[in-house]
Amino acid sequence: MGKTLAYKILEDHLVEGELIAGNEITIRIDQTLTQDSTGTMVYLQLEAMDVEKVQTELSVAYIDHNTLQTGFENADDHAFIKSVAQRHGVLFSKPGNGICHQLHLENYGKPGKTLLGSDSHTPTGGGLGMIAIGAGGLDVAVAMAKGTYSLTVPQVVKVQLNGKLKPWVSAKDVILYVLKQLTVKGGVGKIIEYTGDGVKSLSVTDRATITNMGAELGATTSVFPSDENTKAYLASEGRESDYTPLAADDDAVYDQELIVDLDSLVPYAAQPHSPDNVDSVANIGEIKVDQVAIGSCTNSSYTDLMKVAAILKGRKVHPDVSLVISPGSSKILTKMAQNGALADIIASGARIIENACGPCIGMGQSPKSGAVSLRTFNRNFKGRSGTLDAQVYLVSPETAAISAVKGVLTDGSSCGEELPAIESTDFPFNDNFVVYPEGTNKSNTEVEMGPNIKPFPRNTALPDSVSAKVTLHAGDNITTDDIMPSDSRLLPYRSNVPHLANYCFEKIDSGFAQRCKDAGACAIIGGENYGQGSSREHAALAPLYLGVKFVLAKSFARIHRSNLINSGIMPLVFVDPADYDTFELGQELIIENAPEQVKNPVVEIKDVKTGKIYKANTNFSELEINMILKGGKINAIKGE
């Protein structure tokens, strides 16, 4: 029986456990990445573990989220991250260098390596043939400190790509089609592995777009083989020596299969407010567009932006449209400035903003009230743009650019226009934005900690009985944006959980935080796929600070479930989903003999008033049980 590529890489990095789907294993982590939105907590946690040097081959701290410096808070966070990076042997990528996933693809990713990142779109590295996994900040801090990461072995889904994309159809349309077929829950507990003759028609940056948005499937990661296209990409970045050919065995066995005929795909768009609410651009029709935003870690590569420049050259952005473009890296922006493409974009009436995440995370460029915004980003959750009533559509760079010119959502393949081929180019090495930890260490480098940086909250050991009042009854597909909003107003407080907690769930229920403070100890009732979206552990830390003891839901997204356990909060799953409808705010619940119950497959939760017993599945591994008993991962590591 042949092996999948995913299992080959995992097997090569196996430290403990048996590589069988559903088993818990520990793997060696070669590389880590952090970004500044989650990074401050990562480095506070790394400091709390009292380590000297990181144990990975390479760790990089990127600054790409909180680059809008309207006060001292973001700049203080950057200084803090830089100082801790210098103390522990971590490279520091300064603001302005670009977006972490694009930069890591360009400069550091290597086929066959493992990468753990404190950002849910870390699977972008799968476009290079890496096992690249997004995780909570504490998991990344532990990986830096110990060089390992524990996970449940995923199943592997084979997505066979046949044929070749037609003009005006791009990699973005491939992943939108896959999302339409599998949904935002379809990848939970799975690795998506791409195969087939269609793979060779996709560049590494095409593949990275697809693996990046694998996060929207809920997948652990996604991976492409490493082939001649991989070699050519690495050579263009001056890194041909990093190339290793990798592929699944011809007789590899998969748990699930999906066949995608590339030559039958058309331009697609994800409609509000979910990445899997996908239809063809032609079916959606020529809706009026107010804003177009091109960039993000999904679609800010050189090839993507050169296509945009070609479409815009000699044309004018529609008078009713605001077009904003954020390049993925300083190298891309430099090259486009040199070859004239940047001038073509600016001449069309487009706005160029910093090489950063920017509007993708609500950091500026919020659309007007009720606007239709076309974005080449990866998420269109309600309110994520910073405008609650905006209608956000996810599209390819080609669709975005032609729509910006026409003023309506446009299927470029129906315009009768030819897209010029984008010639490959080489990128000269430039590390002027990188600060190396040379000659610095823990003893000679002080931590710079501004007044906005507060200690992260820590839980205590699980008591004999856990009492809690229901303070929220939430629906399906609650996102981490819903739990802990992320926008230009709140992002500067990512290092200040006590302040941030006041806004927990504000878009769902503005009274939640005060209700928790009044209750003292509380519980959340959730629906399906609770906690989908970003890796931000603030969606666990803020509830921890507010006294949340457990979340009882129909199902959980992978990263958020881990973050809850890392914080000592129990993620429990209904045995009978029908029980979900019977809960109400203020209901008093108790888990008696909790330390023994969490060791069992099922726990009993009692209604204090009526005596009714609700049953919930735990699905906890031995490591997870230990973390819950000790009150979280830090306590478990330190033996507290």
Indicate if the pLDDT at residue 1 is higher than 90: no
The pLDDT value recorded for residue 367 is: 95
Assigned domain for 457 exists:
no
The pLDDT value recorded for residue 617 is: 98
Looking at the structure, tell me whether residues 200 and 53 fall in a common domain.
yes
The pLDDT value recorded for residue 420 is: 83
**Among candidate residues 264, 297, 313, the one where a domain is terminated:** 264
User: Which amino acid type is present at position 373?
Assistant: S
Looking at the structure, tell me whether residues 625 and 506 fall in a common domain.
yes
Looking at the structure, tell me whether residues 332 and 375 fall in a common domain.
yes
Assigned domain for 453 exists:
no
In the predicted model, what is the mean pLDDT of residues 596-616? 97
The pLDDT value recorded for residue 488 is: 79
Assigned domain for 423 exists:
no
Residue ranges of E strands in 376-462: 391-394, 434-435
CB atoms within 10 A of CB 578: 8
Assigned domain for 514 exists:
yes
Assigned domain for 420 exists:
no
Give 401-432 pLDDT, tens digit per residue.
999 999 999 999 998 888 888 888 999 888 99
Indicate if the pLDDT at residue 212 is higher than 80: yes
For the beta sheet containing 14-16, the strands, ordered from the edge strand earlier in sequence to the opposite edge, are 14-16, 24-28, 148-152
The pLDDT value recorded for residue 325 is: 97
Give 151-210 pLDDT, tens digit per residue.
999 999 999 999 999 999 999 999 999 999 999 999 999 999 999 999 999 999 999 999
**pTM, entire model:** 0.94
Q: Looking at the 3D structure of the chain, how many domains does it have?
A: 3
CA separation for the pair 218, 276 (Å, rounded): 11
Residue 602 β-bridge partners:
617
CA separation for the pair 33, 141 (Å, rounded): 10
The pLDDT value recorded for residue 70 is: 87
Looking at the structure, tell me whether residues 81 and 214 fall in a common domain.
yes
Measured between its terminal Cα atoms, the distance across the chain in Å is: 45
Give 46-55 pLDDT, tens digit per residue.
998 889 999 9
Residue 532 β-bridge partners:
479
Looking at the structure, tell me whether residues 193 and 311 fall in a common domain.
no
Assigned domain for 439 exists:
no
Looking at the structure, tell me whether residues 483 and 576 fall in a common domain.
yes
Indicate if the pLDDT at residue 640 is higher than 80: no
Looking at the structure, tell me whether residues 214 and 293 fall in a common domain.
no
Give 258-306 pLDDT, tens digit per residue.
999 999 999 999 999 999 999 999 999 999 999 999 999 999 999 999 9
CA separation for the pair 102, 299 (Å, rounded): 9
In the predicted model, what is the mean pLDDT of residues 571-579? 97
Indicate if the pLDDT at residue 502 is higher than 90: yes
8 Å CB contact between 354 and 74: no
Looking at the structure, tell me whether residues 243 and 312 fall in a common domain.
no
Give how far Cα 105 sits from Cα of 100, 101, 258, Å: 8, 6, 26
CA separation for the pair 244, 228 (Å, rounded): 10
In the predicted model, what is the mean pLDDT of residues 111-130? 97
Q: Which domain, by its residues, includes 569?
A: 466-634
Continuous segment of H or E residues that includes residue 231: helix 228-236
Looking at the structure, tell me whether residues 245 and 286 fall in a common domain.
no
Indicate if the pLDDT at residue 514 is higher than 80: yes
**Among candidate residues 364, 394, 411, the one where a domain is terminated:** 411
Q: Look up the CATH number of the domain holding residue 594.
A: 3.20.19.10
Assigned domain for 436 exists:
no
Looking at the structure, tell me whether residues 377 and 364 fall in a common domain.
yes
Q: Look up the CATH number of the domain holding residue 340.
A: 3.30.499.10
pLDDT averaged over every residue in the chain: 96
8 Å CB contact between 569 and 483: no
Pairing mode of beta strands 91-93, 58-62: parallel
Give 538-556 pLDDT, tens digit per residue.
999 999 999 999 999 999 9
Indicate if the pLDDT at residue 134 is higher than 90: yes
**Among candidate residues 219, 242, 264, the one where a domain is terminated:** 264
Looking at the structure, tell me whether residues 81 and 185 fall in a common domain.
yes
Assigned domain for 187 exists:
yes
Indicate if the pLDDT at residue 241 is higher than 90: yes
The pLDDT value recorded for residue 148 is: 97
Looking at the structure, tell me whether residues 137 and 164 fall in a common domain.
yes
